[in-house]
Amino acid sequence: MSIPPDAAARRARAPVVCYPVEGLPAPDMAMLAAARQTLTQTAEILVPPRDARSFEVPAGHFFRISSIEGPQVGDLNLWNAADLTERFFSGKTRALHATHITTGHRLWSTLPALRPLATITHDTLGWYGWDDDGGGVHDVIGTRCDPYTNRLLTGHDYHHCCHSNLTRALSAARGLPVREAEMLVHDVLNVFMCTGFTRDTHQYFMKASPVRPGDFIEFFAEIDLLGALSACPGGDCSAEHSSDTAACHPLKVEVFRPADGTLAGWAPPPRSAYPRTHGMP
């Protein structure tokens, strides 16, 4: 392999952020902070280890995912409750915010709607930042552990991967055939998971999650949501993520209603106004 004489100059070009976000609609965090001081719990869902459960959150409500017994990561899917084809778009969320998200960041939906499904209102792991390995918490770079990749890499079948768990949870929630539900399961927010890219080979890595009982991440539902959360079979993902031997723990999902009047002036965000004709006559 020959190296061109201007290789150093090519590598030295300044990086440019792909999506300048100065014009991105910003959530009213002061209003949300005030509203979350008035919350009343309306639902509580326990997600068993190596399994998933669905939950619904009305627009204008909050939901919280908590560690309750031991370090455990979870894989989160979100859909528009009235239209499951509009769902969480992890890639665009990553492009608009960062590889790992926290308070103030929003979870964006798929095209052509492209609107915030939820806003993160509180994160007890916000202190973690970036560690010496380049790892951070709550990533939108990984996909979800799935039985197809597991078979590809190991030759073995495993039935409690997060993809499978989420599929079964969605199937049960909406009475869909499993194969139909599987087509609606999508790339996730890896809640509590600590990940990054190795500095030498740039491979996606995971390490022991810093989450502990009592930690939680909280969201504000911008539209009516259907969610599903899988308690990953890797536990804290310190060693493996598709395993019946890793120590695993349940996760808790709580839904909260704010007091009347605390969201004065707020309305669910509209779908993108871009014309579906794509500019064609």
Q: How far apart are the first and last CA of the chain?
A: 48
The answer to whether the beta carbons of residues 197 and 54 sit under 8 Å apart is: no
Q: Which DSSP letter does residue 99 get? A: S
Tell me the pLDDT tens digit for each residue of 207-254: 999 999 999 999 999 999 999 999 999 999 999 888 899 999 999 999
Average pLDDT of the segment spanning 150-173: 96
List C-alpha distances in Å: 224 to 6, 62, 118, 191, 262. Answer: 54, 11, 10, 21, 18
- Which residue would you say has higher pLDDT here, 155 or 242? 155
Predicted pLDDT of residue 277: 81
Residue that has been written with the tokens 């491979």 in this structure: 203
Average pLDDT of the segment spanning 58-85: 98
The answer to whether the beta carbons of residues 252 and 66 sit under 8 Å apart is: yes
List the chain domain ranges: 45-257
Angle separating helix axes 147-154 and 162-174, nearest 10 degrees:
160
Structure tokens at 206: 């995971």
The sign of the dihedral angle between the CA atoms of 257, 88, 50, 131 is: negative
Of the CA atoms within 13 Å of residue 113, those in its CB half-sphere come to 20
Predicted pLDDT of residue 90: 98
Name the 3-class secondary structure at 179. Answer: helix
Tell me the pLDDT tens digit for each residue of 14-50: 999 999 889 899 999 999 999 999 999 999 999 999 9
Average pLDDT of the segment spanning 252-258: 98
Tell me the pLDDT tens digit for each residue of 94-139: 999 999 999 999 999 999 999 999 999 999 999 999 999 999 999 9
Cis peptide before 112 (omega within 30 of 0): yes
Task: Say which residues have a Cβ less than 8 Å from residue 187's Cβ, sequence separation at least 6.
Answer: 88, 90, 91, 140, 142, 143, 144
The answer to whether the beta carbons of residues 165 and 60 sit under 8 Å apart is: no
Helix, strand, coil % over all residues of the chain, rounded to 5: 15, 30, 55
Name the 3-class secondary structure at 161. Answer: coil
Closest Cα to residue 111, out of 94, 90, 93, 86?
Answer: 86
Rounded distance, CA 185 to CA 236, Å? 22
- The pTM (predicted TM-score) of the whole model is 0.96
Tell me the pLDDT tens digit for each residue of 141-152: 999 999 999 999
Closest Cα to residue 71, out of 188, 229, 231, 236?
Answer: 236
Closest Cα to residue 138, out of 125, 147, 149?
Answer: 125
Rounded distance, CA 122 to CA 80, Å? 22
pLDDT at 60 over 70: yes
Reported as a pLDDT band with limits 50, 70 and 90, residue 281 is low
Rounded distance, CA 178 to CA 196, Å? 32
The answer to whether the beta carbons of residues 238 and 229 sit under 8 Å apart is: no
